[in-house]
Structure 1
């Protein structure tokens, strides 16, 4: 089938609610800095009521990635479940406006559109409390086979492994993509997500994933080791391509032939790391979509991530295509 899309993203369609807090606030709520935890609608409402002025913007890991890709000029599509409510309308408007095709039918009953309270501390680390809402209603019937078949890469976020119906959608996507000869990429999403589904994730990575994205905590959790190099070497045997983000140090890129360290980019005005991993994946996948070597893909991922962390929120605030071209990529 003709490849109408470079990347299809499938994930939790979420509206982010961002606010800057101090470490004491996290301690008072018994929240682990840098983590993502699932909360009930009531808990989310209680926490929201305690916060001051917030910034609301569309988010969701895979949605952030395809938004970044679209801003670089890639042809993108997205599948995720929203409710037919105000937050759902905001999400759809935002992702369509940036140039991504999004036509998943909304829910008309049940829980509202998902939202994530993102607590940003002075060190720019983000701690997330997520109410999944309508996301749990994503099922395999929402997976449009023609879109999967016409996408060069299908990019899945690990958070989808939490609700059982979404897990079935995940597996359907993998089957269709591989049947068409297309590639499947996975983001491990969060160390606690990896821990929750450790055995299943390890089997999934070994059997079904072509391109793996992780940060150093996630990859070490996956392979049950404290040694990053050991984790990278083990991942090398499981996937064709592995990209491991290492914060300010840059990233490690892995294929069957080599393991390479790509130096990070110094950022003096660090504001919010919320979208760093998502936009790193956008830069990396964009590089793959235009047939760049993986070392250049890693450098491009670093570049795009270095830009997103200079403002609040995980969506580009500039035209990334122009930004990348100015940087001579």
Structure 2
């Protein structure tokens, strides 16, 4: 099989995106900016109350793979969909972006392909309500050793820590990757996810099981249980650098990002945007751009600049997948 630059593992989810206002969130008892896990009945009820929606293939790790591929990386994705209408659309969309996606379909008797109902307020903030459905069926059996070992870096989303079988798939893939000399990256995904699994995520950082940690300011502060960003960054440095190769990447919206290494902390400016339409996928695409830079052996600050460019593109329109070639954009900006 062909070698991969970036292989991502995560929840394969169809995004159902609609604009709304603060009042709707209050009426539905939704915490703005959060990700809520819901059952199928709640999914159907919420969908019936939402306004006109766009239906787009998504999922954090899948978006990251698409972003990396758009910058020229050879990317693959491992995730689970059912052989239903949405599942077939999802598989087509992934392969059409140039991302290799050949994970087997979920049990036909099991739940439907996952959906995330994303409510976007006028400031571009998104509140996600996710029915995990078939993607919860990802298991160690879906982790092909040859595929994982062929990748230069594997990327795992923190949301995989919810289903126990997916967590074991995560651990299996990490073990295979490190044995093959590859790097392992982890995104914390969501501050509520951090609250559920704080001790386990800290163990991964302390024990050298991950090489690159992605988090936004809310997630890193939740990880270290502090309201102070500087204190969280100091704690991150103290936790991760016994292994010597650890990199922490903290995204800070319009304030750009921080790249934390043993040598110090570097600031990368946000890429300018004309108008923020939808923040969905900003962190995912930043990670895709950053990892594309890593596999091209670029300086970490240049990796951050590619990440910032990818994030800026995706927040300028609805949906978490780039609508322009990120490689073309990077060349226009002199980044490639």
**TM-score of the superposition, structure 1-length normalised?**
0.98
Secondary structure of 1:9's partner? strand
1:293 aligns with 2:299: yes
Q: 5+ unaligned residues in a row in structure 2: which ranges?
A: none
| Separation in 1, partners of 2:269, 2:68 | 22
The secondary structure found in structure 1 opposite 2:100 is strand
Secondary structure of the 1:270 match is: coil
Residues 20, 51 of structure 2: 8 Å contact kept = no
8 A contact 1:83–1:109 mirrored in 2: no
- 2 CA distance for matches of 1:200 and 1:243? 19
Structure 1: where are the runs of 5+ without partners?
none
Shift of 1:308: 0.7
Q: Structure 2 matches for 1:1-329, cutoff 5 A?
A: 4-107=3-106, 108-207=108-207, 208-237=209-238, 238=240, 240-329=246-335
Instruction: State how far apart, in whole Å, the 1-side matches of 2:248 and 2:168 are.
Output: 24
Runs of 4+ in 1 over 4 A off after TM superposition: none
CA distance in 2, matches of 1:112, 1:76: 26
Q: Figure out how many residues of one structure are paired with residues of the other and give that number.
A: 328
Q: TM-score, normalised by structure 2?
A: 0.96
Question: Which SS does the other structure have where 2:201 is aligned?
Answer: helix
- CA-CA distance at 1:3 after TM superposition: 7.5
Distance 1:181 1:226 in 2: 37
Report which stretch shifted further, 198-207 or 143-152: 198-207
Preserved CA contact (<8 Å) 1:3 1:149? no
**Is residue 3–residue 151 contact of structure 1 (8 Å, CA) maintained in 2?**
no
1:181 Cα offset (Å): 1.2
Superposed CA RMSD in Å reads: 1.1
Q: C-alpha distance in 1, partners of 2:165/2:197?
A: 15
